[in-house]
């Protein structure tokens, strides 16, 4: 009589395929071993490196101009938040190979930590990104607890900012992730820039996309070869003739004159609050990632921030 061999039936148990003829006790032991290793494994997004680039033009001629608000936000973040968290007065150092001023540090998430003049309460912007985020923060901390950060201020002038970003990436072997929204170990890039299409005081994260008329972003896209990097756009307002687009714009370089001009009196008075607001947005990005920063940061503006967090936040910066 002809005997037909049949392939053993396979059963899926846990994370392994087990033969129907295999020992159940051996399979259970194997499953338990895998579960234990999975439970003790570190999250896949540990030790992420983040590069924050502030766009602007070098030189005293351009200090406090609208086009330099990226410089201002990143410098303020370094001088206030980073200095008080790390306990060091870090300085930007010129790096010829990166065509810009650079500093690097490691920063940990501060929750309910207090020093002589800075407090991080549990109801700050990072923790309050949602009710679920607040509950999880109280229980588990944040997704990016420890972050390796580099700050870069290009000295190539705005329209050649990509040269500096590419130089830094080549010098420090920076590798951008394919998906800016993914939580993984690949490096992240956030570009902080001005945006005339947003009113003064509004800030918006964007995970990826085209230049939107910003020449610095356009050059970065050209030099790094991808649009897949995050941006923090800081509204500097548009000239009165720009409402509804360029209709009615004067001839010549009127928009250039606007962005290279200095903030008016009311805007200068509000600038400390705006820079404190961008501090919280950058901190939100560092410890929760661009997806959470986009979701929560884009639902707020300077006035709402001051109304919701203003009293405690001003106390921290006085």
Pick the residue with more confidence: 178 or 278? 278
- Rounded CA-CA distance 164/143 in Å is 29
Q: What is the mean pLDDT of residues 183-195?
A: 80
Please answer whether residues 234 and 193 qualify as being in contact, where contact means their C-beta atoms are separated by less than 8 angstroms: yes
pLDDT at 244 over 60: no
Buried b (16+ CB within 10 A) or exposed e, 143-154: bbeebebbbbbb
pLDDT given for residue 81 in this prediction: 87
Tell me the three state secondary structure of residue 62. Answer: helix
Highest mean pLDDT among 24-33, 115-124, 213-222: 213-222
Average pLDDT, the chain: 78
In tens, the pLDDT along 46-56 reads: 467 899 999 99
pLDDT of residue 253: 60
> Which are the contacts of 27, defined by CB distance < 8 A and separation ≥ 6?
13, 16, 18
Given pLDDT bands bounded at 50, 70 and 90, which one contains residue 22? very low
Q: What is the mean pLDDT of residues 264-275?
A: 92
Burial class from Cβ neighbours inside 10 Å (0-12, 13-18, 19+) for residue 207 reads: middle
pLDDT, tens digit, for every residue of 84-106? 888 888 999 999 999 999 999 98
Q: Mean pLDDT throughout 207-233?
A: 92
Phi and psi for 110 in degrees, rounded to 5?
A: -105, 120
What's CA 112's distance to the chain center, in Å?
A: 22
pLDDT at 13 over 60: no
Please say whether the beta carbons of 151 and 92 come within 8 A.
yes
| Angstrom distance (rounded) from CA 3 to CA 1 | 6
What pLDDT shows up at residue 184? 55
Do residues 250 and 241 make contact, with C-beta atoms less than 8 angstroms apart? yes
Q: Exposed, middle or buried, 73 (CB in 10 Å: 0-12/13-18/19+)?
A: buried
Q: Would you state the pLDDT for residue 300?
A: 86
Contact indicator for 290, 204 with CB cutoff of 8 Å: no
Which DSSP state fits 262?
B
Residue 124: pLDDT above 90?
Answer: no
Asked if residues 99 and 220 have their Cβ atoms less than 8 Å apart, the reply is no
The least confident of 6-15, 33-42, 46-55 is 33-42
- pLDDT-wise least confident of 171-175, 230-234, 308-312: 308-312
Write the CB contacts of 316 (distance below 8 Å, at least 6 apart in sequence).
117, 118, 119, 120
pLDDT at 312 over 80: no
């Amino acid at each position: 009589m002809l005997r037909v061999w049949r392939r053993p039936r396979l059963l899926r148990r846990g994370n392994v395929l087990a033969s129907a003829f295999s020992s159940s006790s051996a399979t259970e032991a194997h499953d338990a071993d895998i579960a234990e290793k999975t439970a003790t494994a570190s999250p896949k997004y540990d030790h992420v490196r983040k590069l924050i680039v502030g766009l602007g033009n070098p030189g005293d001629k351009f200090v406090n101009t609208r086009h330099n608000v990226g410089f201002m936000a990143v410098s303020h973040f370094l001088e206030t938040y980073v200095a008080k968290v790390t306990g060091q007065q870090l300085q930007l150092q010129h790096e010829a190979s990166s065509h810009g001023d650079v500093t690097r540090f490691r920063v940990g998430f501060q929750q309910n930590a207090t020093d002589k003049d800075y407090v991080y309460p549990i109801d700050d912007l990072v923790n309050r990104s949602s009710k679920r985020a607040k509950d999880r923060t109280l229980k588990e901390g944040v997704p990016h607890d420890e972050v390796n950060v580099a700050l870069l201020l290009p000295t190539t002038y705005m329209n050649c900012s990509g040269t500096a970003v590419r130089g830094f990436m080549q010098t420090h072997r920076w590798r951008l992730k394919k998906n800016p929204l993914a939580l993984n170990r690949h490096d992240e890039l956030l570009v902080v820039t001005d945006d005339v299409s947003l009113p003064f005081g509004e800030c918006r994260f964007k995970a990826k996309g085209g230049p939107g008329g910003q020449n610095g972003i356009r050059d970065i896209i050209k030099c790094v070869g991808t649009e897949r990097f995050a941006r923090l756009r800081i509204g500097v307002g548009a000239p009165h003739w720009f409402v509804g687009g360029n209709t009615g714009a004067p001839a010549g370089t009127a928009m250039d004159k606007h962005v290279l001009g200095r903030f008016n009196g009311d805007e200068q008075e509000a600038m400390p609050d705006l820079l404190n607001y961008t501090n919280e947005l950058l901190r939100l990005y560092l410890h929760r990632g661009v997806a959470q920063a986009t979701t929560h940061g884009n639902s707020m503006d300077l006035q709402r921030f001051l109304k919701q967090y203003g009293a405690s936040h001003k106390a921290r910066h006085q």
